[in-house]
Every structure is written in structure tokens, then in C-alpha cells.
């Protein structure tokens, strides 16, 4: 089984790229979605998050207080690092279970910090999705209802595209979706061939 990693900065369009491969019938593991689910349902993970963030990390109904966690994590890099240190081992285990349940010859793993977390080492190849920063900021403001300053704060806490490029086998520049799809089709042909 070949594992292809998909990564990119916030607002680059990595989730849309992942959905392209899912639409082609390939299994796709969405690490960020899995992390959000695990943070709520995994009892020991949940208690570690409360120890780090405080009881307000979860709402009265038991949902993740994403706004609070994001504001704390992206304002204080040490909290972000500790949070990643708590969440990513659980995501890694969940991904291993996901792999065991797959029978496809090819699967995709989408993760925002695939390279930073070392997750790329479990991948045979890596796709880096990029877009100009102003486009990324605009996308995230529209998608999440954030102010531009909040998005720039998050970008500042992520590795740059230049830092990620040495780890990537392909860079997909995602500005115009029709052009992006053409790039993805070429990658798919290449992946099937190796």
C-alpha cells in the first residue's frame, strides 16, 4: 500500500485537494478532522487538554471550545507545542488503525503539520499545496469568519512553504481550481505508475 501525504498552510486548499482524491475512490485520512473528534471522544486526551487549557476547553454540552483553544494556542507557541504533543500521538495511533482497515493499493493522508509532526516519514510521497498568502488569508476569513490579523497570527505559527518544500515530491499551486485539478490528475497518473 502506498501512502501519499497532503499538506500545506492554512487556507492553501489541502482539504479540497484531499476531496479530489476521495472523489476518485481512494481512501483519505483527514488528520485534522480526526484530531478534533479524538479531542472530544478520547477520555485521556480530553483530560490532558483540560489540564493544559482549563475546564473551558470544552463547552457545557461537551463540545470542543475551538475558538478558545485556537486563540490560546496561536497566541502562545508553547501552548501550541504542548497541545500538538498531546494530540498527535493519538492521531498517529488512529491513523495506524485506519491503515489496517484499508485494502486499497493507494491511500492519502491530509494533515496541516504532516512535516512538522514527522508524519511525512510514514508517507511514500508528499504533495505540498500552496497559494499566495493574500489568497489564503481571504479564503480563511470567508470560511471561518476570522479577521485577517487572526489568520496572519496562525500563519506565523506554521512552517512556511519554503521550509516544507524540501520534504515534498510535488508542489500544487492552488489558485485556480481547474488548473489545480490538472496538476492533481498528472500526480495521480505518476503515482499509479510508480
Q: Which residues pair with 3 in a beta bridge?
A: 107
Q: Is 98:26 a contact under the CB 8 Å cutoff?
A: no
Tell me: the pLDDT tens digits for 135-184? 999 999 999 998 999 999 889 888 999 999 999 999 999 999 999 999 99
Kindly report the number of other CB atoms within 10 A of residue 179's CB atom: 12
Q: What pLDDT was estimated at residue 75?
A: 86
Query: Is a pLDDT exceeding 90 seen at residue 107?
Result: yes
What is the Cα–Cα distance from 139 to 13, expressed in whole angstroms? 9
Q: What pLDDT was estimated at residue 123?
A: 96
1, burial (CB in 10 Å: exposed 0-12, middle 13-18, buried 19+): exposed
Domains and CATH numbers, the chain: 1-27+106-194 (3.40.50.300), 31-101 (3.40.50.300)
Q: What pLDDT was estimated at residue 173?
A: 97
Q: Is 95:34 a contact under the CB 8 Å cutoff?
A: yes
Q: Which residues pair with 6 in a beta bridge?
A: 110, 127
Q: Is 12:135 a contact under the CB 8 Å cutoff?
A: no
Tell me: the pLDDT tens digits for 12-62? 999 999 999 999 999 999 999 999 999 999 999 999 999 999 999 999 999
Residue located via cell numbers 498531546: 86
Q: Is 17:127 a contact under the CB 8 Å cutoff?
A: yes
What is the Cα–Cα distance from 37 to 44, expressed in whole angstroms? 13
What is the Cα–Cα distance from 94 to 91, expressed in whole angstroms? 5
The continuous run of DSSP H or E covering 99 comes out as helix 77-100
What is the Cα–Cα distance from 194 to 192, expressed in whole angstroms? 6
What is the Cα–Cα distance from 49 to 186, expressed in whole angstroms? 41
Task: Give Cα 24 to chain centroid, integer Å.
Answer: 20
Kindly report the number of other CB atoms within 10 A of residue 49's CB atom: 22
Query: Is a pLDDT exceeding 70 seen at residue 194?
Result: no
Quick one: pLDDT band at residue 193, thresholds 50, 70, 90? confident
Q: What pLDDT was estimated at residue 165?
A: 98
Tell me: the pLDDT tens digits for 62-104? 999 988 998 898 888 899 999 999 999 999 999 999 999 999 9
Which three cell numbers, joined as nine digits, stand for 46? 480530553
Q: What is the pTM for the complete model shown?
A: 0.90
Amino acid at each position: 500500500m502506498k501512502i501519499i501525504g497532503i499538506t500545506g498552510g492554512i487556507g492553501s486548499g489541502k482539504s479540497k485537494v484531499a476531496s479530489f482524491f476521495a472523489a476518485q475512490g481512494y481512501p483519505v485520512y483527514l488528520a485534522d478532522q480526526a484530531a478534533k473528534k479524538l479531542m472530544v471522544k478520547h477520555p485521556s486526551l480530553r483530560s490532558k487538554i483540560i489540564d493544559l487549557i482549563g475546564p473551558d476547553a470544552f463547552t457545557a454540552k461537551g463540545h470542543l471550545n475551538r475558538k478558545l483553544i485556537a486563540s490560546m494556542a496561536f497566541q502562545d507557541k508553547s501552548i501550541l507545542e504542548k497541545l500538538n504533543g498531546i494530540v498527535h500521538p493519538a492521531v498517529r495511533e488512529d491513523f495506524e488503525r485506519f491503515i489496517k482497515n484499508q485494502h486499497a493499493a493507494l491511500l492519502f493522508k491530509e494533515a496541516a503539520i504532516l512535516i512538522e509532526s514527522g508524519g511525512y516519514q510514514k508517507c511514500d510521497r508528499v504533495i505540498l499545496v500552496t497559494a499566495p498568502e493574500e489568497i489564503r488569508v481571504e479564503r480563511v476569513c470567508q470560511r471561518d469568519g476570522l479577521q485577517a490579523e487572526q489568520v496572519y497570527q496562525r500563519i506565523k505559527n506554521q512552517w512556511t512553504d519554503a521550509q516544507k518544500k524540501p520534504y515534498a515530491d510535488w508542489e500544487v499551486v492552488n489558485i485556480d481550481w481547474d488548473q489545480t485539478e490538472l496538476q492533481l490528475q498528472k500526480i495521480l497518473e505518476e503515482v499509479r505508475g510508480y
